[in-house]
Amino acid sequence: MRTNWRKVRFLKSAFKKEDFLLTPYPSFTFCGRSNVGKSSLVNMITLNSKIARTSSTPGKTISVNYFLVDDRVLLIDLPGYGYAKRPKKEKQRWRKLMEDFFKNQPGIIENFVLIDSKVGITELDLMLIDWLKFLKLSFAFILTKIDKVKSFQARELAQKLGEEFATEVILTSARKREGRRELINYIEKKIKR
């Protein structure tokens, strides 16, 4: 199984439906609330700390960002949701962008819903999951920041989510590069199906 992803390049940022990238590559999205660690995760699995912009300020990612790995896998970093200080107009723009994205982006094999291990699943996460189910889109969970909680807490949360939603749960820490091999293996298996 290939786990040596190293060749990654940023393709583009999309701020509206007309900017979405239509490609033949199998695609995987990273969805979640603001500051859950989507960009850090992209950097971690590609071993490139600067490919996706990260910030300690929530709500910085306001576009759909496309990254091509090894000229064969597309990773899509989606804008985060739930940042309270964002103006109402900006929240409405985010909602419209996401509705357009999920209805007009072919080739998505899996949507990774990122859950902060310290916070757990939120009402907004549940709304996203309901939305993905309504659109009949596949999803799996990625627990982020597992280095910030006791290991048994992360395992318990993973077990609970896996049982409740009958889907895969991958535990990760971008800071410690934990879960990288498991996530890449999962993606590779999905591509080969």
* Tens digits of residue pLDDT in 44-73: 998 888 888 765 555 555 789 999 999 999
Does residue 6 surpass a pLDDT of 80?
no
Structure-block tokens of residue 170: 């991958």
Distances (CA, A) of 17 to 63, 68, 102, 128: 11, 19, 10, 19
Domain range 8-192, its CATH number among 3.40.50.300, 3.30.43.10, 2.30.40.10, 3.40.630.10: 3.40.50.300
Q: What is the pTM of this model?
A: 0.91
Domain positions in the chain: 8-192
Asked whether 41 and 114 are in contact (CB, 8 A), the reply is: yes
Distance CA(149)–CA(134), nearest Å, equals 32
Q: Which residue has the higher pLDDT, 82 or 159?
A: 159
Mean pLDDT of 152-170: 97
Amino acid code (one letter) for 99: E
Look at the block and give the residue holding tokens 């590069």. Answer: 177
